[in-house]
Amino acid sequence: MMGSYRVRTDLALEATERFTEENVEIRGVEVKEDYNEEKDIRTTVVKIRTENGAKTMGRPQGNYITIEAPNLSVPDEDYHREVSEEVARHLRQLIDLDSDKSILVVGLGNQGITADSLGPHVVENMHMTRHIIREYGLKGLGEEKMHCTSGIIPGVMAQTGMETSEIVEGVVSEIKPDVVIAIDALAARSVKRLNRTIQITDTGIHPGSGVGNHRVGLTEENLQVKVIGIGVPTVVDAATIVHDSMAHLLDALEEAEQKEFLEEMIPPHLHSMFVTPKDVDETMKYLSFTISEGLNMAFAQN
């Protein structure tokens, strides 16, 4: 229907919505939604269970948890704490934290670009304990009990000349963590989800995928250790905005006419342009703190 134009999204939830709109059943994919009216937080779990489901969705088999919080970009500490608790709850479900774990948090992205600075800011806000535990043992933490956590901000290839995966693989081989958690900025299909949605998945993450700049993935297959990916959509494809603006007009056209119209109205240069809200600087502070608090909560031992 869209000719050469393809809607870009990193959210598994948005991929399932596309099939729902077209009344297509996806075999091997389960979708479960829960809405907490009191907290105004909607959580959707997409489970891709089969190879057929993975092929149809264009994503690896695994669990994709999407937390939609409309007020996530608003400076409301109580609301953000509730979102942090939701993040912590799902992390505990994906990671067995009953026994002591060593966790490496990787902050992906470029700190020099605000919309891509989520990962580095999350790591900066984290409570790291590995150095204390190595030096003083668990007693060094006092009454507070935390899993062994460490973090790294590997930068991007343009800054280091190295694949992010090469840097992370080196660190993983040296410190041998039980779990790697990679944080990155994503791209969304819907403008309403920008900076208001958190996706957590146990399939890892591909640095740069949000802007179509695919690099070697940080996955269990590559790192030989469990990898959890956490991302927030901070940008939307400019071509998507144009497409949505013309949605009603497109509905009145035949499929062949739609294809021709889109190819004329969405020039190639728009496919390399991404849009982010004007208040992204302030929003990134809230988002990074909320996610880091969720991680700190999850790794605190009861």
Distance of CA 75 to the CA centre of its chain: 21
Q: Which amino acid is at 295?
A: L
- What is the pLDDT, as a whole number, of residue 27? 86
Q: How many CB atoms lie within 10 A of CB 32?
A: 10
Q: What is the mean pLDDT of residues 96-113?
A: 91
Beta bridge partners of 32: 45
pLDDT for residue 260:
67
Tell me how far apart the alpha carbons of residues 125 and 139 are, in angstroms, rounded to a whole number: 23
Question: Quick check: 243 pLDDT over 70?
Answer: no
Phi and psi at residue 63, in whole multiples of 5°?
Answer: -105, 135
Query: Given pLDDT bands bounded at 50, 70 and 90, which one contains residue 120?
Result: very high
**Strand segments (E) across 153-263:** 179-188, 197-201, 226-237
User: Which residue has better confidence, 252 or 275?
Assistant: 275
Indicate whether 143 pLDDT > 90: no
| Paired residues of 43 in beta bridges | 34, 67
Q: Are 284 and 117 in contact (CB under 8 A)?
A: yes
The four Cα atoms 117, 205, 230, 189 give a dihedral, to 10 degrees, of 80
Residue 272 DSSP code: G
Which residue, chain included where needed, has tokens 């889109």? 262
pLDDT value of residue 245: 66
Cα 270 from Cα 278, distance rounded (Å): 19
Spatial CA neighbour of 131 closest among 146, 119, 118: 146
What pLDDT shows up at residue 4? 42
* Percent composition of the chain: helix, strand, coil (DSSP 3-state, to 5): 45, 20, 35
| CA dist., res. 242 & res. 41, Å (int) | 29
Distant-in-sequence, close-in-space partners of 211: CB < 8 Å, separation ≥ 6: 187, 235, 274
Strand 197-201, strand 148-152: pairing: unpaired
Under 8 Å between Cβ of 246 and 265: yes
Question: What does the pLDDT read at residue 144?
Answer: 66
Residue 19 has pLDDT above 50, yes or no: yes
Q: Please, which pLDDT band fits residue 1 given cuts at 50, 70 and 90?
A: very low
Global pTM reads: 0.85
pLDDT tier for residue 25 given thresholds of 50, 70 and 90: confident
At 5, the pLDDT band (50, 70, 90 cuts) reads very low
Burial (CB < 10 A; 0-12, 13-18, 19+), residue 128, is middle
Tokens 């948005």 — which residue? 14
Which residue ranges form the domains of the chain, and what is each CATH number?
A: 12-299 (3.40.50.1450)
101-105, 154-158, 295-299: least confidently modelled range: 154-158
Q: How confident is the model at residue 129 (pLDDT cuts 50, 70, 90)?
A: very high
Quote the tokens at residue 189: 């299909």
CA-CA distance, 141 to 145, in Å (whole number)?
Answer: 6
Per-residue pLDDT of 216-237, as tens digits, reads: 789 999 999 999 999 999 998 7
Phi and psi at 172, nearest 5°, equal -60, -45
